[in-house]
């Protein structure tokens, strides 16, 4: 092997790894706050990517309608839960955030989709649409189950994944799509060629990691989320609205997912069902990071990306086997290093 190929593979691995890092961070975040293992994370990626690609191609993405439908569902859930103590302000607030907002976004999407909007507007719309889907999804599917076991939440998560993937096929068809580059242009340094797109990927990943770190370390909301993660009951007694924490977590996760999708869709063709596998590799990173540590997850994700790049070069048939089997020695080390932690409760 020569150095050029090696450098090239490392570069490729780092680009993919950066995406896995973002997804891993989102998974850790959601799990820590809500105990949901977010299998639909992959769908956020494809929804973001394909919404962006459709808009850029001047097509109307079905996701905007889904956001409105879910929003109406969320509004109905709000009304049902508060049925014994309904008052005007509550109804109005819920109506504005759950129905009016997605309706406006839908109108904007219809308006812009007809006239091939510039990249910036495509990105903004895709992000907002997927963010709303994430937010309402939590309200409709997970908030009513918040008190149940991790296992039940996990199965609900599987149900949501199936439904979203089916909807993805309905919205975007079985054909793969590619989107325009977020940042075009490139330069070469030595043997390596850096595209604007890959630089965007690095930049946004780093920005997000720093941003999350600041958010959790310095802001009150960030601290509230951490408190919820440690002890739901305690957090509630201290006046933190745990449903709000869950909503913030899902909002962040969907934005991160959509952003990752928008960043990779100019590099690789994405299909309606590509998200699952991409999300799972984020998982691998998150597990290596122990589902708790953000920096460790990021490093592990880069490692996963590089291993994937090298194994697709040397043994492309066994690429997936190698990536997923990578976990076993890690888990083995973890279980040897930390003898089973005692007493988890249902």
Partner 1 sequence: MQSRLPILVFAALMAAIPFVPGMPPFWIVLLDNIGLTALVAMGLVLLTGVGGLTSFGQAAFVGFGAYTTAVLSTAYGLSPWLTLPLSLLVSGLLAVLLGLVTVRLSGHYLPLGTLAWGLGLFYLFSKLEFLGRNDGISAIPPLSIGSFKMLSPGSIYYAIWVAVIVSALLTVNLLDSRTGRAIRALRRGHVAAEAFGVHTPRAKMLVFIHAAVLAGLSGWLYAHLQRAVNPTPFGAQAGIEYLFIAVVGGAGYVWGGVLGAAIVVVLKEVLQSYLPLILPGSGQVETIVFGIMLVALLQLAPGGVWPWLMSFLPERTDGKKPDTSLKLEQRTRAPSQDSVLLHVEKARKQFGGVIAVNNVSFDVQAREIVALIGPNGAGKSTTFNLITGVLSATSGSISVLGKKVDNAPPQEIVKLGISRTFQHVKLVPDMTVLENVAIGAHLRGHSGPIASMLRLDRADEAKLLAEAARQIERVGLAEQMHQLAGSLSLGQQRIVEIARALCVDPMLLLLDEPAAGLRHMEKQRLAALLRELRDGGMSVLLVEHDMGFVMNLADRIVVLDFGTKIAEGTPATIKTNPEVIKAYLGVAA
| Binding stretches for partner 1 (CB under 8 A) | 31, 37, 39, 141, 144-145, 148, 150-152, 154-156, 158-167, 169-170, 173-174, 280, 283-284, 287, 291, 317-318, 320-321, 324-325, 327-328, 331-332, 334-335, 340-346
Q: How far is the CB of 155 from partner 1 (least distance, A)?
A: 4
Q: Residue 327: exposed, middle, or buried by beta-carbon count in 10 A (0-12, 13-18, 19+)? A: middle
Closest by CA to 222, choosing from 301, 329, 121, 294, is: 294
Are 340 and 298 in contact, with CB atoms under 8 Å apart? no
Q: How far is the CB of 240 from partner 1 (least distance, A)?
A: 23
Q: How far is the CB of 273 from partner 1 (least distance, A)?
A: 10
Q: Which residue matches tokens 């604007």? A: 196
Of the two residues 162 and 192, which places its CB atom closer to partner 1 in the complex? 162
Of the two residues 209 and 284, which places its CB atom closer to partner 1 in the complex? 284
- N residues, the chain: 346
Residues ≥6 apart with Cβ < 8 Å to 295: 209
Helix (H, G, I), strand (E, B) or coil at 177: strand
Q: How far is the CB of 172 from partner 1 (least distance, A)?
A: 11
Of the two residues 10 and 145, which places its CB atom closer to partner 1 in the complex? 145
Give the Cα separation of 96 and 83 in Å (integer). 18
Of the two residues 55 and 164, which places its CB atom closer to partner 1 in the complex? 164
Are 21 and 209 in contact, with CB atoms under 8 Å apart? yes
Q: How far is the CB of 168 from partner 1 (least distance, A)?
A: 9
Backbone angles phi, psi at 151, to 5 degrees: -65, -45
Q: How far is the CB of 333 from partner 1 (least distance, A)?
A: 11
Of the two residues 37 and 106, which places its CB atom closer to partner 1 in the complex? 37
Closest by CA to 182, choosing from 111, 112, 108, 258, is: 258
Residue 212 has which token pair? 């999350």
Give the Cα separation of 122 and 30 in Å (integer). 26
Of the two residues 133 and 164, which places its CB atom closer to partner 1 in the complex? 164
What's the gap between Cα 29 and its chain centre?
Answer: 10
Of the two residues 124 and 155, which places its CB atom closer to partner 1 in the complex? 155
Q: How far is the CB of 160 from partner 1 (least distance, A)?
A: 6
Please report the sign of the dihedral spanned by the C-alpha atoms of residue 214, residue 216, residue 222, residue 223. Answer: negative
Of the two residues 192 and 325, which places its CB atom closer to partner 1 in the complex? 325
Helix (H, G, I), strand (E, B) or coil at 61: coil
Q: How far is the CB of 341 from partner 1 (least distance, A)?
A: 5
């Amino acid at each position: 092997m020569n150095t050029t190929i090696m450098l090239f593979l490392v570069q490729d691995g780092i680009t993919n790894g950066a995406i896995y890092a973002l997804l891993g961070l989102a998974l850790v975040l959601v799990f820590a706050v809500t105990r949901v293992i977010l299998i639909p994370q992959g769908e956020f990626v494809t929804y973001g990517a394909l919404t962006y690609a459709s808009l850029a191609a001047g097509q109307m993405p079905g996701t905007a309608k889904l956001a409105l439908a879910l929003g109406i569902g969320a509004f109905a859930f709000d009304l049902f839960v508060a049925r014994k103590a309904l008052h005007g302000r509550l109804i109005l607030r819920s109506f504005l955030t759950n129905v009016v907002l997605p309706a406006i976004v839908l109108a904007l999407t219809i308006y812009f989709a007809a006239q091939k909007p510039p990249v910036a507007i495509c990105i903004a719309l895709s992000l907002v649409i997927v963010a709303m889907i994430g937010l309402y999804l939590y309200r409709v599917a997970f908030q009513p189950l918040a008190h149940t076991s991790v296992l039940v939440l996990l199965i609900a998560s599987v149900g949501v994944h199936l439904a979203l993937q089916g909807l993805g096929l309905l919205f975007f068809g079985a054909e793969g799509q590619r989107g325009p580059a977020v940042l075009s242009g490139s330069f070469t340094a030595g043997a390596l060629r850096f595209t604007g797109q890959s630089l965007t990927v690095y930049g946004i990943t780093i920005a997000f990691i720093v941003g999350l770190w600041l958010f959790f370390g310095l802001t009150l909301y960030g601290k509230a989320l951490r408190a919820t993660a440690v002890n739901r009951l305690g957090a509630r007694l201290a006046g933190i609205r745990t449903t709000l924490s869950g909503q913030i977590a899902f909002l962040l996760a969907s934005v991160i997912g959509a952003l990752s999708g928008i960043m990779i869709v100019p590099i690789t063709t994405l299909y309606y069902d590509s998200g699952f596998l991409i999300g799972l590799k984020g998982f691998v990173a998150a597990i290596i990071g122990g589902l708790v540590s953000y920096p460790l997850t990021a490093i592990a994700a880069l490692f996963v990306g590089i291993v994937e790049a090298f194994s697709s070069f040397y043994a492309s048939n066994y690429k997936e086997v190698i990536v997923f089997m990578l976990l076993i020695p890690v888990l083995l080390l973890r279980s040897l290093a930390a003898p089973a932690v005692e007493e988890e409760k249902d």
